[in-house]
Chain A
Amino acid sequence: MRKFMTAAAAAALTLAFAGAAEAAAKVKACWVYVGPVGDFGYSYQHDQGRLYAAKQLGDKVDATTYLENVPESDSERAFEQLARSGCNIIFGTSFGFMDPMVKVAKKFPNVKFEHATGYKRAPNLATYAARFYEGRYVMGQIAGKMTKTNTIGYIVSFPIPEVISGINAFEQGLKTTNPNAKIKIVWVSTWMDPGKEADAAKALLAGGADILTQHTDSTAPLQEAEKAGKLGFGQSSDMIKFAPKAQLTANTDNWGPYYTQRLQAVIDGTWKSQDTWDGIGKGMVALAPFTNMPDDVKAMAEKTTADIASGKLQIFACPVLDQAGKDQCKSGAKTLEDGQILGMNWYVQGIDDKIPQ
């Protein structure tokens, strides 16, 4: 019996080592999504990024593991489970995963973690985000040119900095092409409820808006614009299929190149914890083809996009006045600092709304 136990233990050890050796050869990357990959929006785009990286790196990575629909309150369990199951690097894609990830990263110092849209880092916890707001500036400029009623409907989820900076960037763009146009904001308090998003869209259209934009995840608002013969913008992914006559462009997230680069770093052993915040310039934010607009508007949008990419155009160039008319720039600064954009909790001048507290 004793002999058997020893043999069994030895066998188990051998297996464990073999397993470890194999794992070292092939990097196992895992993802945790807050929504369903079928949302055709935010989580879908991350999953497209995963597939892109898997294709680029081929045999060198095992990128088949992902958990979808993980509630933020219950995410610690998910991260811990993945860390235990042999993932070498784990990507968490929602802001609300921040504290659970910090906790789990501390517990598993040999596993690498990457958190999207957060700001807490550790030696094995990196952060990454896209400058989504850059695309919204271009959208604002287009909206200013295209609106006839001078009313833009803006459907938003929750008053977090990413959403606020999006609204502000849109207004900054809108101002440059049409100072008379106004944004009408509706908070729906959800990322994903097609019915409610559609209701908000209908309410805005009934209230005189002729262009809709959204910071929620479903295609419903854009479809309502299409149905009413009005215009709108896609969100997260190119939604032209849902609104061939209405979509002007879409602010899309393009995570594939970033994931590929980070996994390559793990393979090469050069991975370091860092903060990445890229926009149109590095291709992390991309605008879908400009459609349903006259050529001169299209040319303007293309030029603006190029200027943002090259850094010639600064969206929050100083002075940046808030609703009270106070300049939010630090003295002597040329633009708002990244930290100010990442923590934005105030509106720029020209927006008639109060941020819900």
Chain B
Amino acid sequence: MTFDAQQVQDVLIIVVTAATPLLIAAVGELVVERSGVLNLGVEGMMIIGAATGFAAGYSTDSTLVGVAAGVISGAILAAIFAFLTLGLAANQVASGLALTILGRGVANLIGASFVGLKRTPAPHLHIPGLSDIPLIGKLIFGEDFFVYFGLLLTGAVAYWLMRTRSGLTLRAIGDNHASGHSLGVPVRRIRLLAVLFGGGCAGLAGSYLSLAYTPFWSPDMTAGRGWIALALVVFASWKPWRALAGALLFGGVTVLQLVFQTWGVPIPPQFLASLPYLTTIAVLVVLSIRDIRGAAAPASLGIPFIPDR
């Protein structure tokens, strides 16, 4: 069991790539939930993003087109959810679960003719000089562009949500849609935009899997990452920067359980595999003890809004 700095950088790079899809999907869902809508369909939107992302990327031989297709397909699926829950005020939990099943089915259908094909992975940043700095160069200056976009997205959402007027409006209707409505705020329009944004982010996270992480399509390749992203939003207590920390932690624990095995650390892999869930529980306990007012969940989360009332 020897440690060298090069190996540490290698491991950190794996952690960052494992955290990125979680982060992007979680930040999108965070905005949705902040607006007072609970969309449990992240896994479905993610898998359809993976399928269409790969399909479009492969057919046009362009990663960018693939990414765009992933984002759009996630947003289209989210639009169905928005129609049901915002337009018809249907139950959000049931609609979200239905969305997961729908997304999985459609994704497998789209992907069926792309099984067994591969693409070259999305390009990595390379800045001559900087990317070659030993020990940190590849980690900081040599990631693929999804990673940098994920960080940028987190920063942008954090700023917009907490520092701008429109961000404040979104948070306000998430906490009390009735008073927002009485002040003339277009509650449903804002929520629609939030839901579409969340869908786009989930689709993007999915396309990351099939275009950069493991550049091929395979059914069910999201393997529950959409659900982890959902847990991450709660874990982050609906704060973007905490979502970043959480994504690194979740990604880190998953990767560490694999790395520990190669180092021969004598901990049973089953225990390590359960660590992400144990940490979630632990963090939830800590948060609820510290935050006496209870969970920081938006007060209107999951409650259908009908403007007439």
Contact = CB atoms under 8 A, between A and B. Distances in A.
Interface of A: 35-36, 38-40, 44, 69, 153, 184-190, 192-200, 202-207, 209, 218-220, 223, 227, 241-242, 352, 354, 356-357
B221 interface: yes
A223 B116 CA distance: 12
Contact of A241 (B11, B21, B118): B118
Contacts of A227: 121
B216 A195 contact: no
A38 B115 contact: yes
B199 to A, nearest CB: 21
Secondary structure call for the B interface: helix
16 contacts: A38-B219, A40-B115, A44-B115, A69-B219, A184-B262, A189-B270, A192-B218, A200-B258, A203-B14, A203-B262, A206-B259, A207-B263, A220-B214, A223-B118, A223-B216, A241-B116
Nearest to B217: A38
Contacts of B263: 207
Contacts of A199: 14, 18, 254-255, 258
Chain B interface bracket (under 10, 10 to 19, 20 to 34, 35 or more): 35 or more
Q: Which DSSP category, helix, strand, loop or mixed, fits chain A's interface? A: mixed
A204 B7 CA distance: 11
A206 B223 CA distance: 24
A184 B14 CA distance: 18
B269 interface: yes
A357 B10 CA distance: 30
Contacts of A203: 11, 14, 255, 258-259, 261-262
B10 to A, nearest CB: 4
B264 interface: yes
Interface string B235-261: 000000000000000000011001101
Given A203-B14, A206-B11, A219 B118 contact: yes
Nearest to A35: B219
Given A69-B220, A206-B14, A219-B216, 14 more contacts: A36-B220, A38-B112, A38-B217, A40-B115, A187-B261, A190-B223, A192-B220, A194-B218, A195-B213, A203-B259, A203-B261, A203-B262, A223-B118, A354-B266
B209 A357 contact: no
Interface in B28-87: none
